[in-house]
Amino acid sequence: MIRLLLRRLLELVPTVLVIVVASFALVRLAPGSPFSSEKEIPAEIRQKLEAKYGFDKPLPEQFIRYIGNLLKGDLGLSTKYPQRTVNEIIANGFPVSLTLAAVALLWSLLVGITAGIIGAIRQNTVWDYTAMTAALVGISVPSFVLGPLLVLVVSLRLHMLPPAGWGDWHHVILPGLTLGTIYAGSIARLMRGGMLDVVRSDFIRTARAKGVTEWVIVWRHMFPTAILPVVSYLGPAIASMLTGSVVVEKIFNVPGIGPYFVDAAFNRDYFLVMGIVLLYAFFLLLLNLVVDVLYGFLDPRVDVS
């Protein structure tokens, strides 16, 4: 087990390196510069600005410097927010996105798993149709429709929660529900599929024959096997929840790191783009590893070592 972990962690190094090189090259290939604006900046001033960030040096030299700083844990300076480092910006926004992700994850698991199980054990009944219609709606309705609808009803009509902002617990509910619902739909369908796969297995028939109660069959015997597709799905899903959602964070003005994926690229904020890409890559790789390890615990057929 430990050997596997070590091997997998070592494998992360070349993957991350490829990501760094590719994103560094891509972001520099894009036309335009962080300092281009509608109003002309005098050439001398522009040179000073470029020198401040080291953009006046040849690209290979800049890359080596970036890698050097990266190894020291320094992600560089932002050009859009010149008084802040990328480390500071991520440290500011990441806990926010994390809180939002936690609420969204809880909501999506609660709703998704419940709906999936109900759909499977009451297959082809109104229960199943309702749960799966809801799941289909959850998957199909984009967050830029669901978010404003929730704001309209919950905030502007019922005056129950603030329409946007960040600060205390009631700011997190609407964006959490909006973000979570997208995932809840997929989880429900995967869970139902997983349950239906095992419901006719021999070991379930054996358990029934032994007179085990339905409750125990569902939770002890079916659930651990049926949840496996959901677990594989959750790896990348959690990574993308953790790194925030561009749309949800914009609609609810949540100061997380989601919008940087788009804005930093548009602003040619080179170091911020790199920082965000690296963060996302790191979580994606890490969570995929966690998923693989979890498989070993949940499914006796998988030998992780």
Q: Interacting stretch for other proteins, rule CB under 8 A, among 21-29, 181-189, 200-208, 246-254?
A: 246-254
Q: Interacting stretch for other proteins, rule CB under 8 A, among 61-69, 178-186, 245-253, 276-284?
A: 245-253
> 172 to each of 87, 102, 178, 200, how far by Cα in Å?
24, 10, 10, 41
Residue 10: CB minimum distance to other proteins, A:
36
Say whether residue 62 binds other proteins (CB under 8 A).
no
Say whether residue 54 binds other proteins (CB under 8 A).
no
Residue 176: CB minimum distance to other proteins, A:
16
Of positions 56, 63, 87, 122, contacts other proteins by CB under 8 A: 122
* Number of shown-chain residues binding other proteins (CB under 8 A): 57
Say whether residue 57 binds other proteins (CB under 8 A).
no
Q: Interacting stretch for other proteins, rule CB under 8 A, among 42-50, 196-204, 220-228, 276-284?
A: 42-50
Residues lying near other proteins in the complex (CB under 8 A): 30-33, 35-42, 44-45, 48-49, 52, 80-84, 89, 92-93, 118, 122, 125-127, 129-130, 148, 151-153, 155-157, 159, 162-167, 214-215, 250-253, 255, 259, 266-268
